[in-house]
Amino acid sequence: MYIPFHKPYITEDEVSGLLDTVRSGWLTMGPKTFEFEREFLSYVGSEHAVAVNSGTSALHLALKAIDLKEGEEVIVPTMTFTATAEVVCYCNAKPVLVDIDRTTGNIDISAVEKAITPRTRAIIPVHYGGLPCDMDQISDIAEANKLFVIEDAAHSLPASYKGKPVGSIGDLTCFSFYATKPLAAGEGGMVTTENEEWAERMRILRLHGISKDAWKRYSNGGSWYYEVLETGYKYNMTDLQASLGLSQLRKLDKMWEMRKHIAQKYTEAFSDVEQLITPYLNSDRVSSYHLYALKINPGVLNIDRAEFIEILKERGIGTSVHFIPLHRHPFYQNAFSYGVEDFPEAEWVYERIISLPIYPGMSEAEVGYVIQTVTDVCEKHRK
Ligand SMILES: *Cc1c(COP(=O)(O)O)cnc(C)c1O
């Protein structure tokens, strides 16, 4: 048996939707993209949705929307993918890395408070693995210090905090539709916001800073005239991605149910295993179950995390590690002098985490095989 870490859930819906789009002759940003934006914003309950070509572009445009300037600071958890922080560098601003809470994997609220300086403009909480951060506490800190909250929701579709869907909470929320994310369009991203001015600016910036959606130039009623207002980007989504996105959006709830079922099976099986710590779930929020980040308990095992992963690989199970904290990467160490001693909680988590396969379409037999193998490795390598 070989079980990859991830497989996108692609059925006939995606294939026929994509073929329709190809046959329509409209390949780049156009009617499908706008249809996807409309359905997406009604799904998450936001006012505006701006589709782009990646989650990274979404984060970058969100920072442009708040007009982040050179020398300013943005607070980012260290336990994330480099995209969350690199976009701050795109603006010649400084990503200020902070530690996380070891239980949830989410940003540590007290560390955020300590990191605020007069140069701080925004906080980018990451809903780790799909579990929403404590948004009430984050909003309170942001309000008290006049900071913007830009949520990195790359993992958290669908997810909710105290009944509010992620995408309708912070000032700006950024989603990713990368191939392994809960809604997979190959590549793609979306920013949601209640602020019309920001949405308009991001629409302009995603296509070269052009004043009018350029696609209209070529349609029947369109005119040839347009104006470049500022340095923009080539960040637009294509209708090919949007048609995949639409098919995936329409079965998002079903895919969520399937991941939730797998997470429950894992937790049921592992919660009594002394060598393992199962992912935490807060009772006031709903996770997307994007990741199942299992932790090992090194005190009672005679192998470390890397060896555990190697053994699972030999036995046909693909896994991953989310994440190698940013402060461990040469770039962040060299550019900002971060060191492992500054982030004890993230270090504690990093030493222990293994992301197990969790995706819609995984069979009961495959889930059973993962459970049996992980349990068996724990038993064989008990200290
Ligand atoms: C995947 C990911 C991103 C970037 O999304 P892309 O669509 O790959 O650009 C940003 N933040 C986090 C936490 C991610 O996992």
DSSP output for 155-195:
T-SS-EETTEETTSSSSEEEEE--TTSSS--SS-EEEEES-
- The CATH number given to 12-251 is 3.40.640.10
Interval 215-271: pLDDT, tens: 555 565 567 888 899 999 999 999 999 999 999 999 999 999 999 999 999 999 999
* Inter-residue contact 5 to 366 (CB < 8 Å): no
Q: How high is the pLDDT of residue 216?
A: 59
- Is the confidence at residue 142, as pLDDT, over 60? yes
Residues 135, 271: Cα–Cα separation, whole Å: 28
Residues 98, 339: Cα–Cα separation, whole Å: 12
Ligand 1 and 83: CB distance under 6 A: yes
Mean pLDDT confidence for 79-97: 98
User: Which atom of ligand 1 is least distant from the CA of 189?
Assistant: 7
- Considering the entire predicted model, what is its pTM? 0.96
Instruction: Tell me which DSSP letter residue 354 carries.
Output: E
- Is the confidence at residue 57, as pLDDT, over 80? yes
- Spacing, Cα 153 to ligand 1 middle (Å): 8
Residues 378, 366: Cα–Cα separation, whole Å: 18
C-alpha distances (whole Å) from 213 to each of 31, 42, 217 are: 12, 22, 8
Mean pLDDT confidence for 64-92: 98
Q: How high is the pLDDT of residue 221?
A: 58
Mean pLDDT confidence for 48-61: 98
Mean pLDDT confidence for 366-379: 98
Interval 311-361: pLDDT, tens: 999 999 999 999 999 999 999 999 999 999 999 999 999 999 999 999 999
Q: How high is the pLDDT of residue 220?
A: 59
Ligand 1 and 78: CB distance under 6 A: no
Mean pLDDT confidence for 83-94: 98
Catalytic residue ranges: 181
Mean pLDDT confidence for 99-110: 98
Q: How high is the pLDDT of residue 1?
A: 85
Ligand 1 and 355: CB distance under 6 A: no
- Spacing, Cα 182 to ligand 1 middle (Å): 11
Task: List the residue whose alpha carbon is closest to atom 7 of ligand 1.
Answer: 55
Mean pLDDT confidence for 114-132: 98
Q: Where are the domains of the chain?
A: 12-251, 253-380
C-alpha distances (whole Å) from 267 to each of 20, 264, 374 are: 41, 5, 12
Q: How high is the pLDDT of residue 222?
A: 63
Ligand 1 and 178: CB distance under 6 A: yes
According to CATH, the superfamily of the domain at 253-380 is: Aspartate Aminotransferase, domain 1 (3.90.1150.10)
